[in-house]
Amino acid sequence: MKRTLIRYRTKPDMADKNAELIAAVFAELKAAHPEGIRYLSLRLEDDIDVLKGTKFFWLFAEENLPEKMVERFAFLRACNLKTGRAWAIKESLRELWHYRRRGWAELFWRRWYFWATHCRLKPVKKVARMIHNHLENVLTYFDHRITNAVSEGLNSKIQTIKKTPMGIGIGSI
């Protein structure tokens, strides 16, 4: 399904009249093509932040996004926000691990690195440079296909056990 996002600003005193006109246009379109038209109207005040309450949206991979969040997340991505660009750059880097050969992975890396360092987002540039400084270690994965994920997981379990209180506490004696 193709989605089209139309953003516009109106004068505050004309907002109600404008909303009525838009609703009339979409009612006419829906009468002509009832199966293909969906209409969502969002009116935001000047002091309302579009990103408010979306912190965890950006942490999901696209395929793991809960169904109830899909439509709002699609709207946010279509808004052409800096956060959306950073998310797209992060998601595209995940493709690196799908390559089987080091040479292809390096080619992908160079393209991704160029994109990340020319995106005008300082935090993304900082992370890209940090990964670039350790690139040889990252690319070693393509030679040996070994990661330290198991040892990191085991370490996480050990840290959790160390923090979990067990036995009788001194204060209860």
For 123-143, the pLDDT digits (tens) are 999 999 999 999 999 999 999
Instruction: Compute the distance between CA of residue 135 and CA of residue 119 in angstroms, rounded to an integer.
Output: 20
Burial 61-94 (b: 16+ CB within 10 A, else e): eeeeeeeeeeeebeebbeeeeebbbbbebeeebe
Please provide the average confidence, as pLDDT, over all residues in the chain.
Answer: 83
Helix axes 82-93 and 70-78, enclosed angle (nearest 10):
110
For the entire predicted model, the pTM comes to 0.63
Q: What is the DSSP letter of 147?
A: -
Better pLDDT: 8 or 154: 154
Q: Residue 165 in 3-state DSSP? A: coil
Q: Given this model, what pLDDT does residue 2 score? A: 62
Instruction: Report DSSP state, residue 69.
Output: G
> What pLDDT sits at residue 123?
95
Where along the chain do its domains lie?
Answer: 95-162
pLDDT reading at 173 higher than 60: no
Residue 166 to residue 13: CA distance in whole angstroms: 64
